Structure 1
Amino acid sequence: MIVITGAGGQLGRLVAEALAERVPPAAATLATRDPAKIADLAARGFRTVRADFDDPASLDAAFAGARTVLVLSGDAPKDVRIRQHRAAIDAAKKAGVGRIAYTSFTNATPASLFPFAWIHADTEAYLKASGVPYTILRDNQYAENLTNALARARDSGVLALPGAAGKVAYITRADIAAAIAGALTGSGHENRTYELTGSEALDLDEIAEVLARKRGMAVKAVDAGPQEFGRILASAGLPPFLVEALIGLYAAVAAGEYAAISQDAERLAGRPIEPVSAYVARVG
């Protein structure tokens, strides 16, 4: 049995879809805080259970009998997420699972300018120290992170984000999900760390050029100031911890932390990965 935490989220749902292409849905358990939100997946044959990283008993029940557990990284302040991830690892170890897979992030080191990298560094170290065989899946930035900026650029002719000169090997959620499904169902992935990136790395000028060709219009890339960017995020209702994290994320982009390209995602997915230029041309 494969158990997926956070199955109600965007990536969790896509992982379930990708798994269903490889194994019968009955071979997977989808765990989420509110199983009612994934009733459609239960109707397809997946077992669904309640699991909350802050409720150890729910984790014990969700992981019972599991062969592999996928811990999808949560969304909370640093200290909360570190505690929650450790709790999930502890519960999986207690349940005697054969392997724990974890969705980490590119350049998961305390030296990163991205504050959430510290969370992933702690979780990776804690997972390795648990003694349970592991698979670490380091996701680069989602290509979907560009969607709002691309929409604004269609109206204004200006593509504005901080860290404009930094190249990023963006990868779509669907491609990440396919790679994760391959790592969960394939063999030989114990005690391995994979870098899940797109097949090319582009800076904002290059992305603007792709959008300009697609729309037949001039598009100018602008390096948005972090303070103004932070005010925009705050005005959109994002909590302070997330505003701080996103400002740090783009500082990391500017520093070149996400430019490296790996073929791990393509190998795990068993198919080509959509280049970010193709994504921009498709949605732009």
Structure 2
Amino acid sequence: MISDLIAVTGASGAVGGRVAARLARTGVPVRLLGRAPGRLPRLPGTAAAPPAAYGDGEAMRRALDGAHTLFLVSAHESPDRVTEHTTAVDAALAAGVERIVYVSFLGAAPDATFTFARDHWHTEAHVRMTGVRHTFLRDGWYLAGIPAMTGSDGVLRGPGGEGRVSAVSHEDIADSASAVLLDEGTDHDGATYDLTGPEAFTLAEAAEELSRHTGRTVRYVAETEEEAYASRAHYGAEDWEVAGWVTSYEAIASGELETVSDAVPTLTGRPATSLSTYLRDNPDSYRHLLPGS
């Protein structure tokens, strides 16, 4: 157990919020960071930092003053995300932070097919360059995303081909992150952990699993790149954002997201969550697919 202050970013989100709740239960001092402190969870033993956006170096430095460890959840996707990340990292060092645990992405590389994974690689490179103690947690697709990206028409569509994806649950990520954050030894320094589920499945297999749980036929439609861009045009999103959506599927097709790691069971002491188990335990995730919904 450690007594030094841990700063948690993204505490109003799916990953940061779960990590904050786990840390709070242990009694370690925790400071929650966010752009809108009013949205931060109210957890016993935690304190909210003044408002701080990643791209505001001075605000981040004030929010992190006195913190020993920074749990850095990646910012929302944007054209300036790498700059926001590096500004936050530099502010952390200026505030005296001695350790950074960063939530990256599986297969992060400068030439990754998934465009947003390139942002994570550049952020990792900057963290390494600073020389600060660090650990990278590379999660892949979320298990929650499988039903969420399936339309109410019962179709999961995208240019994923016959590739496989080792999707992971938010709970597994949070448990793994908490285990790293609460271990103040040096075993995790410089480590990169691929946080994955226990299996890599095709999107067609995911559709079959959804069919079993919903009692209706769910299909996977393998789009071409052109079809994928066309089917998402109605959202009116900017080009860089649509490219991120499409290339996340293309990274599956290329085999870049099929890695299955033992990091979750090693860090947590229990098996990673499978898609079948996730759907069994989270029926609300596919309620929109149920007959009559």
Give the AA of the match of 2:181.
Answer: L
- TM-score relative to the length of structure 2: 0.87
Matching residue of 2:39: 37
Residues 1:94 and 2:94 are matched in the alignment: yes
Matching residue of 1:75: 76
CA distance 1:219–1:33, shift in 2 (3 Å) = closer
Q: Distance in 2 between matches of 1:234 and 1:248?
A: 15
List runs of 5+ in structure 2 lacking aligned partners: 287-293
Contact map agreement 1:163 1:251 (CA 8 A) in 2: yes
Matching residue of 1:10: 14
Q: Distance in 2 between matches of 1:117 and 1:225?
A: 21
The answer to which of 193-202 and 268-277 deviates more is 268-277
User: Secondary structure at the residue paired with 1:93?
Assistant: helix
Matching residue of 1:274: 273
How is 1:260-271 mapped onto 2 (pairs within 5 angstroms)?
A: 260-271=259-270
Contact map agreement 1:108 1:117 (CA 8 A) in 2: yes
Give the AA of the match of 2:14.
Answer: Q
Post-superposition CA distance 1:26-74 (Å, at most 9, x none): 6110100000111x425x3311112211221211111111110111111
Runs of 4+ in 1 over 4 A off after TM superposition: none
Contact map agreement 1:149 1:161 (CA 8 A) in 2: no
User: Secondary structure at the residue paired with 2:163?
Assistant: coil
Residues 1:184 and 2:181 are matched in the alignment: yes
Post-superposition CA distance 1:114-147 (Å, at most 9, x none): 1112211111111111011111111111111112
Q: Distance in 2 between matches of 1:136 and 1:198?
A: 17
| 1:233 Cα offset (Å) | 3.2
| 1:255 Cα offset (Å) | 0.4
| 1:164 Cα offset (Å) | 3.8
Q: 1:169 aligns with which of 166, 169, 194?
A: 166
Matching residue of 1:106: 106
| 1:279 Cα offset (Å) | 2.0
Q: Distance in 2 between matches of 1:65 and 1:215?
A: 49
The answer to which of 189-198 and 222-231 deviates more is 222-231
Give the AA of the match of 1:32.
Answer: G
| 1:278 Cα offset (Å) | 2.0
Contact map agreement 2:24 2:46 (CA 8 A) in 1: no
| 1:207 Cα offset (Å) | 1.3
List runs of 5+ in structure 1 lacking aligned partners: none
User: Secondary structure at the residue paired with 1:143?
Assistant: coil
| 1:77 Cα offset (Å) | 2.5
Contact map agreement 2:158 2:222 (CA 8 A) in 1: yes
Q: Distance in 2 between matches of 1:238 and 1:145?
A: 19
User: Secondary structure at the residue paired with 2:33?
Assistant: strand
Q: Distance in 2 between matches of 1:202 and 1:180?
A: 24
Q: Distance in 2 between matches of 1:164 and 1:20?
A: 42
Contact map agreement 2:19 2:177 (CA 8 A) in 1: yes
